[in-house]
Structure 1
Amino acid sequence: MASITDTLARLGDVSTPFTAPAVGSLRDEELLTAQRALAEVRRRLDAVSTAIAGEIAHRSRRELGHSGLAQSQGQRTAEGLISQLSGGSAREARTWVKTAELLPTARIVPEAPPLAPWMKALGEAVAQAAISPEAAEVIRTRLTAAARPGAEDALAEAAARLVADAASLTIEQLVVRASRFRDEIDLAGIAERERELHEKRFLRFTKQPDGMTRVSGLLDPESAAIVIPVLDAVTAPRRSGPRFVDPAEAARAEDLVRDERTTEQLVVDAFVDLVRQGSRVDDGTLLGERKPAVRVLVTAKDLDGRNGAAYFEGQADAVSIATAERFICADGAIPLLFDGDGRVLNLGRAQRLFTEKQRVAIAARDGGCLMCDRPPSWCEAHHIDHWEEHHGRTDVDDGVLLCRFCHLLVHNRGWRIRRTGGDYTLEKPDGDRVIRATALPTRSPALQRMRASA
C-alpha cells in the first residue's frame, strides 16, 4: 500500500486518476500525522486558490462589463465563476476573493485605500500557508470593527497573536478569541455592536408543500442566552452532560438517553411545550384578552368511528383521529363537529377541560406524568375515559397527568388508562399483541408518605 506521504506527493498530478488510499491499517500516530500533513497541504492549496480567485476577480471587475472574464464565461460575478469551477459554495468563493485583497501579490486598485499594516500581515500569513483564508477572514472582520484612530498598534499586536494561535484553534474558537480582542481594543463600541446584532434578530415560519413548516431565524446574544440554556437542559444527557447524584435526576437522564426521539426532535417538543405553558400563564400582555385556541375540524362520523381524518384550523394537511382526540382531551382544542350535510353539530359540551383547581388537585395526587418523570408543569390533564368516545366526565378521579409525549403515545397507539379505586394502570399490547396492565404509581412524595404511614 502506498504511504500517505506518497499520496500527498501525487495530489498535484491531475494527469493521472486519483484513488483515495486505504487507511484502516494505519496506526493511531500515523493517522494523526497524516491529518496534520493534510491540513498543511490544504492551507497551501487555499493560498493558491486565494491568489487565483483574486486574479479572476480582477479580470472580472465591473468596469470591464461583458468583456470581463466572469461574464465572458456566462457568469454574472467572479464569485459565481469561481464557485462553478471549484464546485464549492458561494460563501467560500467570497472568502477567497476578499482574502485575495490582502495578499502581497494582490492587484492594487488605484482608488482603494491603502491596507493597514495588520491587514498586510494577515495576507502574508495566508500566502505562507500559516493560516487558512477562512481564519484570515474571521480575524479581519472582527478586528476591522475595532479599527479606530490610535488603535493601530493594538490591532497589529492582536492580529499577530491571533495568527500565531490560529493553527491550534478551531474556527469557532478563533471567532471567540478574535471577538474578545476586538472588544478589549474598542470597549466604547460594544453597545453599538450589540444594537446591530439585536436589529438582525428574526424568526420566520414558512409553510412547505409537504405539510411541514420550516422555522428559520437568528437570535441576538441576549435572546440566545435565554433560549439556548433552557433547550440545552432538555438534551444535556444526550450530549455527555453533567452526571447526576440525585436519583431522580439520574433516572431522568437515563430516560432521555433511551428516548426513541432524536435530539433534534426533543428540542422541537420542548420548544412547543414551553410555548404552550407560556400561553397558559400569559396575563394578556402578549396574547391579548382572547388567547388563541386550537380548533379541530372533524366529522361526527369520523370521530365516533375513530377512523378517518381531522384538520387543525388553518392547516391544510390531515391529522389522525387519535391526534384530534388527544387535543380535544387536554390541549384546549375546540372540536367543530360536522354532519353529513356539512352542518355544524356542536362546539363541544360544557366544561370539557379540567379547571385550574382540578389540575392542582390532580398534580398534588400524581406528582407529575404517571408514565415518565416529567414534572406537573410539563403535563396535561388526560381523561382516562375519552371525552368524545366514552363521554368521559371531567372529574378529578377520571383525570391523570401525562406529559405531551406520553399523552401522544396513549392516544395515537390506542392505549387505555384505567382506574381501580385510587390506583391507575396502563393497558397496552405486548410484543405478542396481548393486552398487559402496568401499574402507574403516584410520583407525589406526600401521597407516597401518606400511604406508607397508613
Structure 2
Amino acid sequence: MTSGVLEATGGVPTSWHAAAGGAGGAGRVGIALRSAVDALAAVPRALDPYRALDDAALLALTRLAADEVRLAQLHVSLLAGEIARRSAPELGHSGLAQSRGHRTPDELVRVTTGTRLTDARAAVRVGAAVADAGPLTDAVLDGRVSVAVADAIKTGLGVAAAGVDESALATAAGQLVDRVAGLDADRAAREARALRDELDAEGIQQREAVQRERRSLRIGRRSDGMGFAQWVLDPETFAIVSEVYDRITSPRRGGPSFAADSEPTDRVIDEQRTTEQFASDAFAELLRHGAAADTSQLLGDGPIGVRMLVAARTLTRRRGAAWFEGHPDAVSVATAERLACAAGTITITVDDDGQPLNLGRERRLFSRSQRIALAARDGGCRWPGCERPPSWCEAHHIDHWQRDGGRTDVADGILLCRHHHLLVHNNGWQISRAGPRYRLMESGRAGEPQHQPIDMPSRSRALADALSGAEPP
C-alpha cells in the first residue's frame, strides 16, 4: 500500500502534498526538496550493484552518500531554525510549537522528523545560528561542514566570558572550519575545546569547576530484573576510573601494562568472560573489598594513580594548562599542583626535536621509563585517527631492530596499539622521522601507485604546549 501511495504522488507521501497545498504551498523550496527525495528514491537499493563495486568505487560512493546525509541535515536545520523562530518564548501559546501541543520547538522537530531529541536540539541550535553571519555559517550553507560538526564546534567553544568575547569566538569558529575538515563531530568538539583553552587559559579552572558540578551517579533496576548504573564523571575522576579500566582490560588485548613488564598470567589467557564481563566483575570486586582488596590480582603491581603531564615552564610560571595522560582536555595548573602533592607529576623537558630519553642498542625492549616518556610524547597510538590510550599501546621501533639495526631510543620509537602495530609489520608500512615529526608511508602493492606520506601527529596536548615556547595567553 505504501509503495502505491509513493507511485501516485511522485515518491512523496500523500500527507506531504496535503500540507504543501495549504496556504501559500511549499513554493520553490518544496519543489526542490520533492525533486531531491524523488532522486534519492531512484537510487538502487538491491544489494547486487553494491557488491559488484571495486574497493575504490565503494569508498567513493560511501563519501558521496555521506554528502547526501550532510545536505539533508542542513535542510532539516534550516527548517528547524524557522520552527524555533516561530516558537519564540515571547509568542506564548500562539507560537508554532505550543499551538501544535508541544512545549518546545525541539520537541516539535523531534516528533516531526522522528529523530532523537539530541538530534532535534542540534538541528534547532544550528538552524538558529545560521541567522548569524560568519565563516561557520558560510561553511554550513555551502556544505563544507556538516550540521553535527558545526554544532560540535559551537558547543566546544562555549559561551563568551571575561577572557573571550563573542567576536573572538566567531573568529575561532572560522579558524576551526579548515582544521576540522574530514573529522567527525566528536573529534571536532575536542579541537574546539582545545582552541578555547588556548584562547582563555585563565578560564580553565572555572570551566573545570563547572564540569565537576555536573558529576553524578545513579543506579536503578530494569524491568527484566537486571540493574544499571549511570555514572557521569568529571575529568579528574574519569582519568582515575579509566586508568583502572585500562589496567583491567589492556592485558587481555595483548598490549603492555605500564604497571608491570611481566607476561599475562595463565588466569588471564584462559579467561572465558568477555572484556565487559571481566571489567564488571573486577569493579564489583574492588567495591566489595575496598581498601583491603589485593589489587595486584586485578590490576597488576603498583598503586592506582594517573600521570599528570605538564610542561616544566608551566609549573614554574604557574600559568597555562596541564593534562591527564591519555585525555585531551586541559585542566588547571592548580589541579596539577594539588595532585603533585599526592601522586607526583611528570614534567616534560625536551630537546630541540622534542625527544626526552635514549638508551641506544644496549637493550632491545623499551624500558619502563622510556615507555612513560613515549606515553607523554605521543599521547596514545599515533596511527592517524586511532584513539587508543597509552596503556593499550606497544612501543614500535621505526627502524626495525633486526632488519635495520634500529636503536632503542625514544626518538626512534613510537606508540602503536596492537592492531596498528601488527598492521605496520604485516602489511609493510614504513614510518620515518624528521625532527619531531613522524610520517607513515604505505608499501605500494604491485601495479599500484605509491601514496603520499601521511603525518602521524602526537595526541599529547602537553607536548604541544611544551614545544610551543610561547607565553601562555
* TM-score with structure 1 setting the length: 0.51
In structure 1, give the amino acid aligned to 2:89. Answer: R
Deviation at 1:218, TM superposition (A): 0.8
Whether 1:269 and 2:281 are equivalent positions in the alignment is yes
* Distance in 1 of aligned mates of 2:257 and 2:232: 31
In structure 1, give the amino acid aligned to 2:79. Answer: I
Mapping of residues 418-433 of structure 1, within 5 Å: none
Mapping of residues 39-188 of structure 1, within 5 Å: 39-103=66-130, 106=131, 115=132, 120-145=134-159, 147-148=161-162, 155-188=169-202
* Distance in 1 of aligned mates of 2:93 and 2:160: 38
What per-residue deviation string (whole Å, max 9, x for no partner) do you get for residues 342-385 of structure 1? xxxxxxxxxxxxxxxxx9xxxxxxxx98xxx99799xxxxxxxx
Residues 1:148 and 1:34: Cα distance change in structure 2 (over 3 Å): farther
Whether 1:221 and 2:248 are equivalent positions in the alignment is no
Question: In structure 2, what is the equivalent of residue 20 of structure 1?
Answer: 45
In structure 2, give the amino acid aligned to 1:55. Answer: E
* Distance in 1 of aligned mates of 2:155 and 2:64: 28
Residues 1:258 and 1:53: Cα distance change in structure 2 (over 3 Å): farther
Deviation at 1:212, TM superposition (A): 2.5
Whether 1:35 and 2:38 are equivalent positions in the alignment is no
Deviation at 1:201, TM superposition (A): 1.1
Is the CA contact 2:102–2:108 (under 8 Å) kept in the aligned structure 1? yes
Deviation at 1:195, TM superposition (A): 0.8
Question: In structure 2, what is the equivalent of residue 259 of structure 1?
Answer: 271
* Distance in 2 of aligned mates of 1:15 and 1:122: 28
Pick which of 269-278 and 94-103 moved more: 269-278
* Distance in 2 of aligned mates of 1:156 and 1:75: 32
* Distance in 1 of aligned mates of 2:85 and 2:96: 9
Is the CA contact 2:106–2:120 (under 8 Å) kept in the aligned structure 1? yes
Deviation at 1:174, TM superposition (A): 1.5
Residues 1:237 and 1:28: Cα distance change in structure 2 (over 3 Å): farther
Q: Could you list the runs of 5+ residues in structure 1 that have no partner in the other structure?
A: 1-8, 107-114, 282-358, 360-367, 378-454
What per-residue deviation string (whole Å, max 9, x for no partner) do you get for residues 284-315 of structure 1? xxxxxxxxxxxxxxxxxxxxxxxxxxxxxxxx
Is the CA contact 1:151–1:185 (under 8 Å) kept in the aligned structure 2? no
Mapping of residues 332-411 of structure 1, within 5 Å: none
Is the CA contact 2:81–2:127 (under 8 Å) kept in the aligned structure 1? yes
What per-residue deviation string (whole Å, max 9, x for no partner) do you get for residues 404-423 of structure 1? xxxxxxxxxxxxxxxxxxxx
In structure 2, give the amino acid aligned to 1:265. Answer: Q
Count of residue pairs brought into register by the alignment: 266
Residues 1:13 and 1:273: Cα distance change in structure 2 (over 3 Å): same
Question: In structure 2, what is the equivalent of residue 385 of structure 1?
Answer: none
Q: Could you list the runs of 5+ residues in structure 2 that have no partner in the other structure?
A: 1-33, 303-473
In structure 1, give the amino acid aligned to 2:65. Answer: L
CA RMSD of aligned residues (A): 3.5
* Distance in 1 of aligned mates of 2:256 and 2:45: 40
Is the CA contact 2:164–2:200 (under 8 Å) kept in the aligned structure 1? no
What per-residue deviation string (whole Å, max 9, x for no partner) do you get for residues 261-301 of structure 1? 222111111111222332427xxxxxxxxxxxxxxxxxxxx
* Distance in 2 of aligned mates of 1:29 and 1:374: 44
Q: Secondary structure, in 3 states, of the residue corresponding to 1:12?
A: helix
* Distance in 2 of aligned mates of 1:149 and 1:247: 46
Is the CA contact 1:166–1:174 (under 8 Å) kept in the aligned structure 2? yes
Q: Secondary structure, in 3 states, of the residue corresponding to 1:101?
A: helix
Q: Secondary structure, in 3 states, of the residue corresponding to 1:204?
A: strand
Is the CA contact 1:102–1:122 (under 8 Å) kept in the aligned structure 2? no
Deviation at 1:21, TM superposition (A): 4.0
Higher relative contact order (CA 8 A, sep 6+): 2
Larger of the two Rg values belongs to structure: 1
Residues 1:97 and 1:247: Cα distance change in structure 2 (over 3 Å): closer
Question: In structure 2, what is the equivalent of residue 436 of structure 1?
Answer: none
Mapping of residues 274-289 of structure 1, within 5 Å: 274-280=286-292
In structure 1, give the amino acid aligned to 2:178. Answer: A
Deviation at 1:235, TM superposition (A): 1.3
Residues 1:257 and 1:80: Cα distance change in structure 2 (over 3 Å): farther
* Distance in 1 of aligned mates of 2:300 and 2:164: 57
Residues 1:258 and 1:264: Cα distance change in structure 2 (over 3 Å): same
Residues 1:230 and 1:187: Cα distance change in structure 2 (over 3 Å): same
In structure 1, give the amino acid aligned to 2:283. Answer: F
Deviation at 1:165, TM superposition (A): 2.4
Whether 1:200 and 2:214 are equivalent positions in the alignment is yes
Deviation at 1:19, TM superposition (A): 5.8
Mapping of residues 317-328 of structure 1, within 5 Å: none
